[in-house]
Structure formats: structure tokens, C-alpha cells
């Protein structure tokens, strides 16, 4: 129950640079593991609210608004310097999802791994194409 209150408080804070430190504090109190200098914009959806303890955000990450984490039994790990666009959903029940420093590597029960700079979409996740150098800079 307390983790839901901390999540609500983090989402209620205004989108001001001065509030980034307080938002990180509230999200940490909800159970999330968040590295230093990471910015997480509101609203951030965590379903169920007890899943916050399964979310690990590295240092210097940026998570845009309306990002959803639905990971009741699995871990979502964002490595150092990962940027997440608006309205991205991390939906996983029984397998971990790891976004490493230079790319995404979904670790599924079938052992699928995705290389860095690869566009991934769909349910289940599939590689769409490798991004050209000019597309990921």
C-alpha cells in the first residue's frame, strides 16, 4: 500500500528541474532502483504497484512521460544512459527485459536476443530492422 502512495506522490510532482531529485526519491521509496542523475517524467505507470521493486534504472537515464511498466513477476533493467521515448510499454510477465547501454536485449524463455541499434516492435518482440548510423545519433 505504501508503494502506491509513493508512486502517486512521484506522479503528482510538477515537471520542474528542481523536482527531479524529489521524484527519484519517491520512486526509490516505492521500491524502484534508480541510478544517479536519471530523469523520469510523469506520469509513470507501474502495474501492479508492487512491481516497482522489479524495475532497475541505471545512471543518467531518461524516461519520458506516460511510460508503462507492467512486470508483476519479472525484472525490467535499463542500463546506463538509456533513453525511453513517450508512451513506451515494458510488458512482461515471466521473462526479464534488459536494455543495455548500447541497445536492447530482451531475454525471453525462447532465448531471443536483439543487437544494439535494432528497432524492435510487436508482441512478442521481433526485430524490425537495424538502424543506420544517422538514425541513432
Residue 129 CB: number of other CB atoms within 10 A? 11
Mean pLDDT by 10 residues, the chain (137 residues): 92 90 94 94 92 93 92 88 84 80 50 62 74 59
- The answer to whether the beta carbons of residues 84 and 78 sit under 8 Å apart is yes
pLDDT of residue 65: 92
pLDDT, residue 115, reads 62
Cα–Cα distance measured from residue 104 to residue 117, given in angstroms and rounded to the nearest whole number: 8
Q: Which stretches does DSSP call E strand in the chain?
A: 33-34, 39-40, 44-47, 55-57, 62-63, 67-70, 76-78, 83-84, 89-91, 97-100, 103-106, 118-121, 126-130
Q: Give the structural domain span for 11.
A: 2-135
DSSP 29: H
CA distance 106 to 115: 10
pLDDT at 83: 81
pLDDT at 46: 94
How many domains would you assign to the chain?
1
Amino acid at each position: 500500500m505504501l508503494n502506491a502512495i509513493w508512486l502517486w506522490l512521484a506522479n503528482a510532482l510538477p515537471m520542474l528541474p528542481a523536482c527531479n531529485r524529489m521524484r527519484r526519491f519517491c520512486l526509490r521509496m516505492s521500491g524502484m532502483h534508480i541510478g544517479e542523475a536519471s530523469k523520469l517524467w510523469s506520469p509513470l505507470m507501474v502495474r501492479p504497484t508492487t512491481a516497482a521493486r522489479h524495475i532497475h534504472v541505471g545512471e543518467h537515464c531518461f524516461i519520458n512521460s506516460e511510460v508503462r511498466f507492467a512486470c508483476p513477476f519479472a525484472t525490467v533493467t535499463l542500463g546506463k544512459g538509456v533513453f525511453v521515448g513517450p508512451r513506451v510499454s515494458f510488458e512482461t510477465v515471466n521473462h526479464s527485459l534488459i536494455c543495455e547501454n548500447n541497445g536492447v536485449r530482451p531475454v525471453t524463455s525462447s532465448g531471443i536476443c536483439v543487437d544494439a541499434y535494432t528497432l524492435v516492435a510487436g508482441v512478442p518482440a521481433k526485430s524490425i530492422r537495424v538502424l543506420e548510423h544517422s538514425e541513432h545519433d
